[in-house]
Amino acid sequence: MEKHNNGSSTGTLYVVGTGPGSAENMTVAAINALKMSDIIIGYKTYLELIPEFLEGKEVISSEMMKEVDRCGKALEYADLGKTIALVCGGDPGIYAMAGLVFEMAQKAKNSCKIEILPGLAAINSCAARLGAPLMHDFAAVSLSDLLTPWLLIEKRLEAVAMADFVTAIYNPKSKKRTEQIVRAREIFLKHRSPETVVGIVTAATRENEKIIVTTLKELLENEIGMQSTVIIGNSQTYRWNDLMITPRGYSDKYQI
């Protein structure tokens, strides 16, 4: 892919999506970007999932919530002419760091080249592990109200519940935030049957992966954590064996 933001610096910042967290589930382009980089910067947990790409590199790892620091360092080193990989779990463009990189580069007038290497987001990998839950019109909503007013999140949940979207819930629950998923379920129950199929995927494709297919009624009786994505089916979604399947059509125009 071509690079964005052609500036005067000879450095390059690759914003690299590592997908659910292993070399196998990364794209060839993302792997190549890591190999070409002098310095690899990322959140500790994501870097630990790809140890084979860190050997012989300068590695700057940091804790969660230090996104602004990580972005700032990545841009600073790239401006000095280095080739940097800023690692994001999932896809940099979906609830990750692509936006912050551009926001900061604009304010700091950085002149390095910036290239986004997309990866499999939770929405891609969790769907594949559940069978075929998306398949039709869908929405993604994060329940984290750290940077978004809760009233806007409720308005969005209400809108997509009412219009029968398959809905992927990002950041459903953390140790401190436990009430948002309770409220989200209430909103969906106003518009959808308690028997609506719901999938919960925790740590997709990793060693500790856990896949649950349940219903809106029983959603809260299941384990939901920091590594979970919740996918609420639409009115047509059904369960078959251990799978969650949304038919592609509302009509029966094709015969199968």
162 in contact with a second copy (CB under 8 A): yes
CB of 124 to a second copy, least distance (A): 4
Judge residue 60's burial from the number of C-beta atoms within 10 Å of its C-beta, 0-12 exposed, 13-18 middle, 19 or more buried. middle
98 in contact with a second copy (CB under 8 A): yes
Supply φ then ψ for residue 75, to 5 degrees.
Answer: -70, -40
Concatenate the DSSP letters of all residues of 61-102 into one string. EE-TT-HHHHHHHHHHHHHTT-EEEEEESB-TTSSSSHHHHH
183 in contact with a second copy (CB under 8 A): no
The 234-253 site mask, x for binding a second copy (CB under 8 A), equals ------xxxx-xxxxxxx-x
Q: Are 222 and 200 in contact (CB under 8 A)?
A: yes
Candidates 57, 73, 156, 210; binder of a second copy (CB under 8 A) is: 156
64 in contact with a second copy (CB under 8 A): no
Candidates 38, 61, 62, 93; binder of a second copy (CB under 8 A) is: 93
Candidates 23, 54, 60, 189; binder of a second copy (CB under 8 A) is: 23
155 in contact with a second copy (CB under 8 A): yes
CB of 71 to a second copy, least distance (A): 8
Supply φ then ψ for residue 138, to 5 degrees.
Answer: -140, 165
Kind and range of the H or E element at 52? none
Binding-site size for a second copy (CB under 8 A) equals 83
Candidates 58, 103, 186, 223; binder of a second copy (CB under 8 A) is: 103
Task: Choose the binding region for a second copy from 56-64, 122-130, 195-203, 216-224 (rule: CB under 8 A).
Answer: 122-130
Q: Which of 17, 10, 52, 55 is nearest to 33 (CA)?
A: 17
11 in contact with a second copy (CB under 8 A): no
Nearer to a second copy among residue 31 and residue 189 (C-beta) = 31
> What is the C-alpha separation between 114 and 7, in angstroms, rounded?
9
CB of 149 to a second copy, least distance (A): 6
Angle at 227 (CA atoms; ends 116, 20), nearest 5 degrees: 40
Strand, helix or coil at 157?
helix
Nearer to a second copy among residue 225 and residue 249 (C-beta) = 249
